[in-house]
Structure 1
C-alpha cells in the first residue's frame, strides 16, 4: 500500500477523508468523507463542487493505493454525474481502477449515502508520474 493513500493533505482534511481500505476482492477501494453543513447549497444539500472534490480525491487515492511509492498521479479529466441530492453526514466512495497503462489510469468511483443510494459518480483519467 502506498503511504500517500493514508496521508491527509489539507483538501482531504477539509473533506473529512478517511481511508477504509479495499473490499474483500481487493479491487474496490473504500473511502469515507464527512459532508459538513458548510458544504450545503441553498437547498440544504451538499453542493456539487464538494461532491466532485470527493470523487476526485477518491479516484486519486485509489490510484495511489495501486501504485508503487515512487509514483504519483494527477487528474487529467473528471467526468462527473450528480444523480441524487446528498445530505450532510458520512458519504462513502467506492473506487476501482478500470484501465492502466505505463503512463495512464482510468478510475471510476461512486459516492453512496447512509441509505445506500448512489448520489454521484465519476470517471477520472489520470496521468502516472514519477516522484523523482
Structure 2
C-alpha cells in the first residue's frame, strides 16, 4: 500500500529532536539512544542506538526497546506532519517481531498511511544488521488533539 502522497512535513528531524528533548526529556535522559534521522513527505526514519542496557539475556535487543522505537517513529511522523503538539498520543500499536537484533544502530522506516484531522495511521519497518534485515514490523494509530484557539499554524 503506498503512503499518502499529498503530505508535507512542517518540522525537520532536527526540530523534532529538539522538541522531544524539551517535552519528553526522559526518553534519552543522559544519552541519545532514540533519534529522528530524517523527515520526508509522508514519513520519517528513526534510530535506536542500542547498547548493553537494551539487551535481554542472550545478547538480543529487548522487545520493549524495539516497541519504543516503533512508537517513537509514529510520534516523529505525527509531530513533523500534523504539527508540534506534544499532546498527540498513541491509541494503538501492534508489533510483530521477525528476527533477533543485536546491539548497534537499529533503524525504523516509518510511513504515514493516512493523516486525518484527529487520527494518523502509520506503519514502520524496523531493520538492523549489516544486511538491513527486518527485525520487526509495526502498525499504529496516533490521536491528534483538536486545534485550540491561539494555536500558531506554521
TM-score range, shorter chain: 0.7 to 0.9
| Partner residue in 2 for 1:22 | 39
User: 2:56 — aligned with what?
Assistant: 41
What is the RMSD computed on CA atoms of the aligned residues?
2.2
Q: CA deviation at 1:108?
A: 0.7
**Mapping of 1:43-82 within 5 angstroms?**
43-70=58-85, 72-82=87-97
Aligned residues of 1:71 and 1:129 also touching (Cα < 8 A):
no
Contact kept in structure 2, 1:70 and 1:131, CA below 8 Å? no
**Alignment correspondent of 2:26:** 10
Query: Once the two structures are superposed, what CA deviation does each residue of 1:47-84 show, in whole Å capped at 9, x if it has no partner?
Result: 11111011111111112111123574200111011011
TM-score by length of structure 2 reads 0.74
- Label 1:69 to 1:44 Cα distance change in 2 as closer, same or farther (>3 A): closer
Q: Which runs of 5+ in 1 are unaligned?
A: none
What number of residue pairs does the alignment pair up?
130
For normalisation by structure 1, the TM-score amounts to 0.85
Q: Which residue of 1 aligns with 2:139?
A: 123
2:118 is aligned with 1:103: yes
Give the strand-richer structure, 1 or 2: 1
